[in-house]
């Protein structure tokens, strides 16, 4: 049985700024207007991070826009949101994030079987030279693909 996943947003900035060591799938505790706004794609994960606090994991800095058709009961766009993980995963993340230089970054937000899920990455920060190296590698791969495509057209 194929899994129904509809990707809403990808945090491309995270892949530029961090090395992703591991990924975790977590559910999110949301209000009704937040779910409707996410379905419309009005969400931004840039600058967001997750934090383990009092045995719970919280998503902070994620912006989910106010739902236009919402009433006075609309949500706060920048409120911290509780992430739903297994207890064993939370204790593992607590131990791992206390290590030097590791942080939890949301990588993508998607719907899986009509449930909002977020993919968290256990990440290490990149240095400036790592970022430049990644850009140079991507440019050379793009140039190589262009040359190969051009030669296949000629021959």
Predicted TM-score (pTM) of the model is: 0.78
Residue 144 lies in a domain: no
Which tokens is 21 given? 């060591």
Per-residue pLDDT at 155: 66
| Matching residue, tokens 């600058």 | 47
| Matching residue, tokens 């430049």 | 132
Residue 118 lies in a domain: yes
Per-residue pLDDT at 2: 58
Contacts of 131 (CB under 8 A, 6+ apart): 16, 17
pLDDT < 50 positions in the chain: 1
DSSP β-bridge partners for residue 18: 125
Whole-angstrom distance, CA of residue 151 vs CA of residue 142 = 14
The secondary structure element, H or E, covering residue 140 is: helix 128-154
Residue 155 lies in a domain: no
Residue 131 lies in a domain: no
DSSP β-bridge partners for residue 110: 7, 117
Helices and strands, counts by H and E, the chain: 4, 9
| Domain range for 97 | 5-126
Contacts of 48 (CB under 8 A, 6+ apart): 11, 59, 60, 61, 62, 63, 105, 106
Residue 61 lies in a domain: yes
Residue 90 lies in a domain: yes
Residue 97 lies in a domain: yes
Residue 150 lies in a domain: no
* CATH code, 68: 2.40.280.10
Chain centre to alpha carbon of residue 150? 36
Number of folded domains that form the chain = 1
């Amino acid at each position: 049985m194929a899994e129904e996943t509809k990707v809403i947003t990808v945090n491309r900035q995270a892949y530029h700024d961090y090395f992703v060591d591991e990924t975790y799938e977590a559910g999110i505790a949301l209000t009704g207007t937040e779910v409707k706004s996410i379905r419309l794609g009005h969400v931004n994960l840039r600058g967001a991070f997750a934090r383990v606090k009092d045995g719970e994991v919280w998503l902070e800095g994620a912006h989910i826009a106010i739902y236009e058709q919402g009433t006075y009961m609309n949500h706060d766009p920048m409120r911290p949101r509780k992430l739903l993980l297994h207890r064993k995963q939370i204790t593992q993340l607590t131990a791992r994030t206390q290590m030097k230089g590791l942080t939890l970054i949301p990588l993508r937000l998607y719907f899986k079987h009509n449930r909002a899920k977020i993919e968290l990455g256990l990440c290490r920060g990149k240095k400036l030279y790592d970022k430049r190296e990644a850009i140079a590698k991507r440019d050379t791969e793009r140039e190589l693909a262009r040359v190969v495509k051009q030669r296949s057209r000629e021959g």
